[in-house]
A and B are shown apart, each in its own frame.
Chain A
Amino acid sequence: MSAAECQRGKMAALRAGLLTRALTKGKTPAISNIILGTRAASGPSKDTLPGAYPRSPEEMAAAAKKYNMTLEDYKPYPNDGMGYGDYPMLPERSQQERDPWYQWDHPDLRRNWGEPMHWDFDMYIRNRVDTSPSPVEWRTMRNQLLGFVGFMLLMFGLGEMFPCYQPVAPKQYPYSDLYLERGGDPAKEPEPVKNYEI
């Protein structure tokens, strides 16, 4: 009941504000004024949306309750101005790692309704980044790959700098160096070209 009264009161105040502003200034106020003044009550209320970094234990408890997490699990991101606010820091695990046989509410996302979403949820969906275990340790894989690629780059680079191939001579053509084929005058006698030595 009190929420409805509050809403009606806010709407009345908004209408009154707009009316007075329109009457006094002679033109309707800018959109930004309307937006900053009041917000429509049809969307989520301010206490269910993410807020600022929690400072006191009460704020931590309230934030944990808001995000449907237990107080022990709820850990906000460090407050270094990167823009996280009080959003919880969940373990960096992709959705691929979750149990495929459990009856999730959203089976393709492997997520239940109301469960707190990781900040990088759209990265950790099953089509994208996957943190599930690999057959060999990541470090070994990375070292082997970089070692192989680096070695091949090195060898190709060396090959460019110091080319080594069989000794070659310029190509020898018959018929006086292809005199007629190269557009020589058929009436004139070409000079003889000797490509051999006996």
Chain B
Amino acid sequence: MANYKEAPLATRPKTLDPAEYFNLSPDYRRAEEKRAALRAQLKRQYLEQLNNPHRKELIEDPALTRWTYARTNNNYFRPTAKTSLIGGLFGVLPLFVLYVVFKTDRDKREAKIKAGTYERPYKLST
């Protein structure tokens, strides 16, 4: 695996990253071990539930619940300068800008029609 070349449009897998094998400090190793331990615990919990012959219900994923809760309940939104600016820019400004744009365009067209100089762009009849 020393001369592994990854597929053209893929990232290199973590286990084949040379940085994983050379110049590893004890801190890095300890952190990796902690991560691996967490992963192994989660895997064990999942497989216990999956292979339990008496299980009848769906395996509930708390990470999914947390994600859904975080995305749907915006409890921690706070009106600050940044959020007010974004809200104003995307929510309030388009209303006024679009009104002005459409109004001027239509007024110009109306004036042209009244003056008789309006040429219909897609006129079908001669």
Say whether chain A's binding surface is mostly helix, strand, loop, or mixed: loop
B8 and A72 contact, CB distance less than 8 A: no
| Interface mask (B1-32 → A, CB under 8 Å = 1, otherwise 0) | 00000001111011100000000000000010
B71 and A80 contact, CB distance less than 8 A: no
A87 and B35 contact, CB distance less than 8 A: no
Tell me the A120-138 residues at the B interface (CB within 8 Å).
Answer: 121, 132-135
Min CB distance A78 to B, Å, is 10
Q: Which of B11, B34, B66, B77 is within 8 Å of A83, CB to CB?
A: B77
Tell me the A27-77 residues at the B interface (CB within 8 Å).
Answer: 44, 48-50, 52-53, 66-70, 72-73
**Contacts A113-B46, A115-B42: A81 and B70 contacting too (C-beta < 8 A)?**
no
A113 and B66 contact, CB distance less than 8 A: no
Kindly state whether residue A82 has any CB partner on chain B within 8 Å: yes
Give the docked Cα–Cα distance between A181 and B77 (Å): 77
B82 and A44 contact, CB distance less than 8 A: no
Kindly state whether residue B38 has any CB partner on chain A within 8 Å: yes
A-B contact count (CB 8 A): 101
Say whether chain B's binding surface is mostly helix, strand, loop, or mixed: helix
B38 and A67 contact, CB distance less than 8 A: no
Tell me the A66-118 residues at the B interface (CB within 8 Å).
Answer: 66-70, 72-73, 80-85, 87, 93, 97, 99, 101-102, 105, 112-117
A112 and B80 contact, CB distance less than 8 A: no
A116 and B70 contact, CB distance less than 8 A: no
A135 and B63 contact, CB distance less than 8 A: no
**Contacts A87-B70, A113-B46, A132-B11: A52 and B76 contacting too (C-beta < 8 A)?**
yes
New A-B pairs, 4, CB < 8 Å, besides A105-B43, A117-B64: A102-B13, A113-B59, A121-B67, A132-B9
Nearest 7 CB-CB pairings of A with B: A81-B78, A83-B77, A113-B46, A85-B76, A114-B42, A81-B80, A117-B67
* A and B contact pairs by CB, cutoff 8 A, 12 listed: A50-B66, A67-B63, A82-B77, A82-B82, A105-B43, A112-B39, A113-B45, A113-B46, A114-B42, A117-B63, A117-B67, A119-B71
| Chain B interface (Cβ < 8 Å from any Cβ of A) | 8-11, 13-15, 31, 34-35, 38-39, 42-43, 45-46, 59, 61-67, 69-71, 74-80, 82-83
| Chain A interface (Cβ < 8 Å from any Cβ of B) | 44, 48-50, 52-53, 66-70, 72-73, 80-85, 87, 93, 97, 99, 101-102, 105, 112-117, 119, 121, 132-135
